[in-house]
Structure 1
């Protein structure tokens, strides 16, 4: 029998002083909670298109979150095996 799990990632976006910030929060079915962070800034020579700043900041936050999930998995594997662990992206 196969099992399906559902994890939620909430993404929060804000702007301050010409920078766009994003935070991606992962909540799993157990007690795991991880956060990823990203930032984007407008080059003064570029046209201000807020959606692009949002996309860049969110992409960076999700990438950071993915890296943190890999680190958590490596820590869990090490706790079980007591052996060095290397998980690559």
Structure 2
């Protein structure tokens, strides 16, 4: 049975005066919203390059969001009585 869906992700980045960048990745599935969080801090001895802080914080927020989705999928798989996939049996090897 074919299935198509469109989910929207919004990424919000904030930098404070102390060189800390925080990111919120908000996934809207149309029925539920999930938020991933990430942050990055510029060491005082380093040159402050805002793009690097944005990349690190955004990447960490999206990784947090991805882990939430994987955890939910595993619970849903178990909820329908299917066996839980091992990390080595699906996707790319780690």
Q: TM-score, normalised by structure 1?
A: 0.83
Shift of 1:18: 2.4
Secondary structure in 2 matching 1:64 = helix
User: Would you tell me which structure has more helix in proportion to its own residues?
Assistant: 1
Q: Which residue of 2 aligns with 1:57?
A: 57
Structure 1 distance, partners of 2:5, 2:83, is: 28
Aligned match of 2:19? 18
Cα distance in structure 2, aligned partners of 1:13 and 1:28? 21
Could you give the per-residue CA deviations for residues 25-84 of structure 1, whole angstroms, max 9, x where no partner exists? Answer: 11113x222111100000112111111101110000001100000011111112211x66
Q: How many residue pairs end up in the alignment?
A: 87
Paired position in structure 1 for 2:42: 42
Gaps of 5+ in 2: 88-93
Identify the residue that residue 27 of structure 1 maps to in structure 2: 28
Q: Residues 50, 74 of structure 1: CA spacing in aligned structure 2 closer, same or farther, 3 A cutoff?
A: same
CA apart distance, 1:86: 5.1
